[in-house]
Amino acid sequence: MRLEAWALIAAGGLLVTSSASSQQPAYPPEVQAVLDWSRRECRDQGGSDIVLPKDAVRKIDLTGDKRDDYIVSMDEVECAGSQSVFCRTGGCNLTILVALKNGTYRTVFDDRVRSFEISKGPGARTIRFDLHGSYCGGFGAQPCPKKRRITAKPFKFVMPQ
């Protein structure tokens, strides 16, 4: 492993490569698929590895059913050797996966957001999203806040016509 990779790990990030996968925490297959996609996307954009900060994957009960759900936020994930893979003017990739009764996970949201804030529990959480202005009929930097109560039903935000 290169010296830069060790420095990133020591600084609180997690280098994710096929040779470093033993350092990666065990995630459910559906969460792992999101991380595998990000690894492929990084390589497709000319990068070599992804570096996950320790809070890139969060385990939290979002639906109030006392099962752990997952949020994968790419806002601070680095793609070594390539800039702007996971974040652009519309925000950064964010994936929300909720636990189902059968033990699997469903992706209920997968899009770019500028930022998000999770309401305090207990019970089902509401997430406040800050989106690209075009989702509110504006443009770029204009504010576009949206709220959504998290359930097992997939959702997406649609730009007005």
Q: Is residue 53 part of a domain?
A: yes
Supply the pLDDT for residue 24. Answer: 61
**Confidence grade of residue 161 (pLDDT, cut at 50, 70, 90):** confident
User: What value, to the nearest 5°, has the Cα angle with vertex 130 and ends 154 and 47?
Assistant: 80
Kindly state the tokens that stand for 148.
């959504």
Question: Which has more pLDDT, 30 or 5?
Answer: 30
Domain extent, residue 59, equals 3-112
Q: Does the pLDDT at position 85 exceed 60? A: yes
Q: Is residue 52 part of a domain?
A: yes
Cβ atoms within 10 A of the Cβ of 156, count?
A: 9
Number of domains in the chain: 1
Q: Is residue 43 part of a domain?
A: yes
Q: Is residue 66 part of a domain?
A: yes
Task: Please compute, for residue 156, the number of CA atoms within 13 A of its CA located in the half-sphere on the CB side.
Answer: 7
User: What does pTM read for this prediction?
Assistant: 0.83
**Confidence grade of residue 83 (pLDDT, cut at 50, 70, 90):** confident
Q: Is residue 99 part of a domain?
A: yes
Q: Cα Rg for the chain, rounded, in angstroms? A: 16
Q: Is residue 134 part of a domain?
A: no
Answer for the pair 148, 135: CB distance below 8 angstroms, yes or no.
Answer: no
Q: Is residue 118 part of a domain?
A: no
- Please compute the mean of the pLDDT values over residues 88-108 and round it to a whole number: 96
Percent of the chain topping pLDDT 70: 84
